[in-house]
Amino acid sequence: MAGVFIFALVMAVALFADGLALRPYDAMDLGNRLQPPGTGGPLGTDQFGRDLFSRVVYGSRIALRVGLIVVTIETVLGVTMGLFAGYYGGWVDRVIASVTDVTWALPPIVLALAIVTALGPSLNNVIIAIALVSWAGYARLIRTKTQGLKNMPFVEAARALGESDLSIMFRYILPNTFGLVIVLATLSLPGAILSTTALSFLGLGSQPPAPDWGVILNEGIRHLYDAPWISVFPGLAIVCTALGFNLLGEGLRDVLDPRMKV
């Protein structure tokens, strides 16, 4: 229940950010810089006099949008690889399994950092990098699921009717993995948000004055002693969002597949 509430709250804040924000996220007021919460607004102001509440609210939109894009890409890539590996077996399975094992073995954030460094700092490159290093978990589980489904009677019947391999994989096997995919995607969302925030914090993702939570944290580090609220509130937003989505994913796992262990 808590996960559903937090998910709904983040979605509502992201969707209605324009109405909730008190000022434009980049509106500066140097006469009111570094004002504490209450004096300079609900969450105070930053070093440029920008309203921190507005920036955190708009940051939820960036976090959710980027997280959903990353999860969509990694889901499509991982599920497709898992289907092909599990259905065909043989050399196809060996090649995909080898690539999956290598990707799985490397620390995702380190690999993503290397990719973004090579491509150049931008939010789009961060999305590509994180998606490319996060699909292996889907591939491993969907491969195992496909191996168990490909010899089921309904699949054999489809083969007997002359259905193509692609048709069997995507029309007959894939729908039977939807519960697993939904759980994996939900559990992957907080990781995607945390990774994009971390790379933005390092200056490789969103660039100032974007209200990305990672960018706000980076700016707040310079004022940790004289204006700690600049770092505290986006940090709380990140923690609460990640915790909420994790709780939601665990709840869905219990409902859709109680035997699943991620």
CATH number of the domain where residue 163 is located: 1.10.3720.10
Identity of the residue numbered 142: I
In a domain, 262, yes or no: no
In a domain, 85, yes or no: yes
Distance in angstroms between the alpha carbons of the first and the last residue of the chain: 20
β-bridge mates for residue 45, sequence order: 51
Give the DSSP H or E segment for 245: helix 229-256
Alpha helices in 21-161 (DSSP H): 52-88, 90-105, 108-119, 123-133, 136-149, 153-160
Angle between helices 136-149 and 90-105 (to 10 degrees): 150
In a domain, 261, yes or no: no
In a domain, 110, yes or no: yes
**pLDDT of amino acid 6:** 87
Output the tens digit of pLDDT for each of the chain's 262 residues. 677 888 899 999 999 999 999 899 999 999 899 999 987 789 999 999 999 999 999 999 999 999 999 999 999 999 999 999 999 999 999 999 999 999 888 888 899 999 999 999 999 999 999 999 999 999 999 999 999 999 899 999 999 999 999 999 999 999 999 988 999 999 999 999 999 999 999 999 999 999 999 999 999 999 999 999 999 999 999 999 999 999 988 888 877 765 554 4
Q: Quote the domain boundaries for residue 101.
A: 2-256
In a domain, 55, yes or no: yes
In a domain, 249, yes or no: yes
Residues 20, 27: contact at Cβ < 8 Å?
Answer: no
In a domain, 63, yes or no: yes
**For residues 179, 182, 188 and 192, what is the CA-based torsion angle, rounded to 10 degrees?**
160
What is this structure's pTM?
A: 0.90
How many structural domains comprise the chain?
1
**pLDDT of amino acid 1:** 67
- 232 CB-near residues (< 8 Å, 6+ apart): 220
- 252 CB-near residues (< 8 Å, 6+ apart): 182, 183, 186
In a domain, 48, yes or no: yes
